Structure formats: structure tokens, C-alpha cells
Amino acid sequence: MSMARQPFHLVEFSPWPLLVSFSILSIPVGTLFYVRLSSINLLLLGVFLTATISYLWWRDIVRESSYQGFHNKMVMKGLKLGMALFILSEVCFFFAFFWAYFHSSLAPTVEIGAHWPPTGIETLEAFQVPLLNTSVLLLSGVTVTWCHHSIEESNLKSGLQSLTLTVMLGLYFLYLQYGEYSETMFSIADGIYGSCFFMATGFHGMHVAVGATFLLVCLFRMNNFHFSSNHHVGFLAAAWYWHFVDVVWLFLYVSIYWWGS
């Protein structure tokens, strides 16, 4: 069917969706092997294959959009809708963690001492490293918005500077969170509090790492003139994802670090 009769890009057959599904499957299976059998080979192989196949898949998408011109307005509208639905699924994902946390904290049972935090748990000080982490992420939200306006104004230098700063802030957040984990007086095995804390903040940290990688790819593409003032859906998706990560952290900080302590 020709493009004149329908406005959508009909993608060619691609091996990447099937291959990346198997490579991603090997990551949790490899994690189980590592935990149970102390064998890390499958986990490392899964991470390597996922990164390699993702690069090849992104390469094809960049070629379609930037060089072949297949991503018209209708295609971009569909991509934006798809990203919005993906973020909605991520909201539901984190909603489960907040549900578990508030279910246990609002009505603590006698098994955990009938109060919150549970008996024996020494919580982290909310106005020290967690507050610094909050400031870092909020600042990164400002810089990624700065980058968005720079792209719309076709200011490449300003866009590169602001996006580089955003990636650096994201990496700094991960560094601070690693230091925070090293200083905690409890672990993920310490009852409901430890489980909720490390699952919620740990998965958020993983999302920060994914978002920083997303933005790093956008930085590379911007440096190669892939974005224009009216064609930058790849950056928009990364920026939306980054703002979602910021908002989730605000809820985590208020509920777990401040109110929960």
C-alpha cells in the first residue's frame, strides 16, 4: 500500500523484538542463578545482549526517522501516544509499592511492634542525603526543560550544554543513592519496612539509570544533528520519562523518607 493512500509508516520485518525479548528474559533468570548458585555468567550475557540488540534496534529507528523521513506527523502522534501509555503502566507499577507501604504503615500490626517504623528499624534522616537527592532531581527537571526550549529555538549549543548537565545530575543522583545504601542500618531482609524501602527506591534508581541512558542517547543524536525544532519525538519521550522519574521521587521522599520516619 502506498504512502499516498495511508499516512502511516509500515515497518519492515525486524528480528530485534523477538531477540530482545529472549535477552531480557535471561536477565531475571540469570539473577536467580546468581543468587542461588553464585553463577553470574547468564546475567552478564543477558545484560550484554540486551544492550547490543537495543543499540541495533535504535539504530534502525533513527535511520527511519532522521534519514529516510518515514516518521511523519501521524507516526509521531502514535509514538507520543505509545510513550504516554508506557508511562501510565509505570505509574501503575509504582502504585503497587506505595499501596504495600501505606497498607503496612497506616495500620501497623503487632508483629512489627504496632507502630511505624517497625521496632528495631533506624530510618534515614530525611533532611540530609535524601533532601540533597531531591534537589538534584528537581534541578535535572529544570535542565531537561531548558534543553527542550533550546531545541524548539534551534539553539544547538544551549541544548547540548543543558542535556549534558541533566545526564551528569542523573549520574550524581545514582552516586548519592549508592552511598545512602551503604550507610543504611537495615537491609531488604529486615521485614516489611526494608522490603518496601529497597524495592521502591531501588526500582526508582533503576529507572533513573534507564532515563540517564535514554538522555545520553539523545545527547549523541543531538550532537549529530538528528533533532530539529519540529521533529524531536525521541527527545520528547526521554523528557517525559525523566519528568515521571522526578515526580515519583517526590512521592517517595515525602512518604518514605519524611512522613514514614
Contact of 82 with 73, CB cutoff 8 Å: no
Q: How far is CA 158 from the centre of its chain?
A: 24
Distance separating alpha carbons of residues 260 and 112, to the nearest angstrom = 14
* First vs last C-alpha separation in the chain: 61
Residue ranges, CATH 1.10.287.70, the chain:
1-70
Condensed to tens digits (0 to 9), the pLDDT of residues 140-153 reads 999 999 999 999 99
CA atoms within 13 A on the CB side of 232: 27
Q: Report pLDDT for 1.
A: 44
Condensed to tens digits (0 to 9), the pLDDT of residues 128-182 reads 999 999 999 999 999 999 999 999 999 999 999 999 999 999 999 999 999 999 8
Dihedral sign for Cα atoms in the order 183, 185, 189, 190: negative
Q: Report pLDDT for 96.
A: 95
Distance separating alpha carbons of residues 74 and 206, to the nearest angstrom = 32
Whether 40 shows a pLDDT value over 90: the answer reads: yes
- Please state, in angstroms and as integers, the Cα–Cα distance from residue 62 to each residue in 53, 112, 221, 234, 253, following that order: 14, 52, 9, 9, 36
Whether 240 shows a pLDDT value over 90: the answer reads: yes
Q: Report pLDDT for 71.
A: 81
Q: How far is CA 102 from the centre of its chain?
A: 23
Whether 4 shows a pLDDT value over 60: the answer reads: no
Query: Three cell numbers at 181?
Result: 545504601
For the domain 72-259, what is the CATH code?
A: 1.20.120.80
Residue ranges, CATH 1.20.120.80, the chain:
72-259
- CB contact set of 231 (below 8 Å; sequence gap of 6+): 65, 71, 76
Phi/psi at 228 (5° precision)? -130, 175
Q: What average pLDDT does the segment 70-80 reach?
A: 85
Condensed to tens digits (0 to 9), the pLDDT of residues 207-226 reads 999 999 999 999 999 999 98
Distance separating alpha carbons of residues 199 and 189, to the nearest angstrom = 11
Query: Would you say how long the chain is, in residues?
Result: 261
Residue of higher predicted confidence among 116 and 94: 94
Phi/psi at 232 (5° precision)? -150, 45
Query: Three cell numbers at 179?
Result: 552511598
Whether 2 shows a pLDDT value over 70: the answer reads: no
Residue 64 DSSP label: I
Average pLDDT, the chain: 91
Angle at which helix 191-223 crosses helix 156-183, to 10 degrees, equals 160
For the domain 1-70, what is the CATH code?
A: 1.10.287.70
